[in-house]
Amino acid sequence: MKDIYIWTLNNYVGSKESMIRGKIMQSTEDFENGISAENILSKLNNGNIFDFDYTPQERDTLSISFNAKNRAEYKYFSLIVRDGIWQNGRNPAFVSIHKEIAQGEVKVIYKEENIFLNHCKHLKRTYGIDIPELIKVRCANLKDDSQDPIYLALINFKEYKIFYTHEFIKHVAKTYFKTYPDENSEKLQIIIDHAQNKFSLLEKKFISETENLAFLNRCFKDLNNDIKKCFTMVIPVGDEEYLFTDGFLSGTIGYKSKRKNSYFKNHSQKLKFESFELSKKTI
């Protein structure tokens, strides 16, 4: 799921009684990518910014949220019309009745001929990598000599790697030991480790000039060539730190776990594979 910013414009209808009690999550007034309460307010109070006729009514609200329905890390801010002027705030929660006027996606405008965005297009064409929108809006308007670690990692990109899922490793081990019941896992372990940087997103298979990876490609095909089921794609951005580029973790930072997961068949047949943990750092 791509990173998106959703806006929702609501009209205040009235109030109601409610027995619901609770705390409201604190808003984030600046997403640090050009989308902020201050910037939106300045535009709202200087004319109609919507692509339809709209005249603000007292206590109308505009809320903007980051992947509100798709990520555990919910971020938002809310604006309200008071005394004919847009300002920070919202109507009382739980007791307010709203009618939705419209909803849409906030479009981030980048500078033309942007070096970083052109590089993202290159990564897409050459490697099949989709750089998350969250990363684009973070890095697109940085200076060319920026020392931002994620900016540098992508500009100086050399290779990505994968973290295998438990489901894929389990299938690989089961298939291998069933096919070669008298083998231990040493040879397969070498292949597993070597192939971690050898998966091609463009061709959707493992590719190597020095190692025969046909067995892993067979296992991948067994699972319907489903990348999300088999791997998590990451790009190194520092010392054991990685930028996740797909799935619900897209745009987040993680690192190789110190705790190694393993799939064991028996004492002589086992496969070890790297796991990861999410970093406490925020993009």
Q: Averaged over 196-209, what is the pLDDT?
A: 94
Instruction: Return all residues near 224 (Cβ < 8 A) that are at least 6 apart.
Output: none
The CA–CA distances, whole Å, from 61 to 67, 83, 144 equal 19, 13, 38
Least confident of 1-10, 42-51, 188-197: 1-10
Statement: residue 157 has pLDDT above 70: yes
What is the average per-residue pLDDT within 36-40? 84
Confidence at residue 39, expressed as pLDDT on a 0 to 100 scale: 81
Q: Evaluate if residue 60 carries a pLDDT over 80.
A: yes
- Per-residue pLDDT averaged across 155-163, rounded? 92
SS3 label, residue 98? strand
- Rounded to two decimals, the pTM is 0.63
In this prediction, residues 225-247 reach a mean pLDDT of 89
pLDDT for residue 16:
83
Q: What is the DSSP letter of 30?
A: B
Identify which of 81, 82, 91 has the alpha carbon closest to the alpha carbon of residue 48. Answer: 81
The region of weakest confidence among 64-78, 85-99, 221-235, 267-281 is 64-78
Which one has a higher pLDDT value, 30 or 110? Answer: 30
pLDDT > 70? residue 112: no
Q: Residue 113: what pLDDT?
A: 64
Euclidean distance between CA atoms 132 and 177, whole angstroms: 38
Higher per-residue pLDDT: 136 or 102: 102
Q: Is the pLDDT at 180 greater than 60, yes or no?
A: yes
Buried b or exposed e, range 58-87, using 16+ CB within 10 angstroms: ebbbbbbbbbeeebeeebbbbbbbeeeebe
Mean pLDDT of 18-31: 68
Mean pLDDT of 155-176: 92
**Pair 154, 120: CB distance under 8 Å:** yes
- Residue type present at position 13: V
Q: What is the pLDDT of residue 1?
A: 46
Q: Answer yes or no: are the C-beta atoms of 123 and 94 closer than 8 Å.
A: no
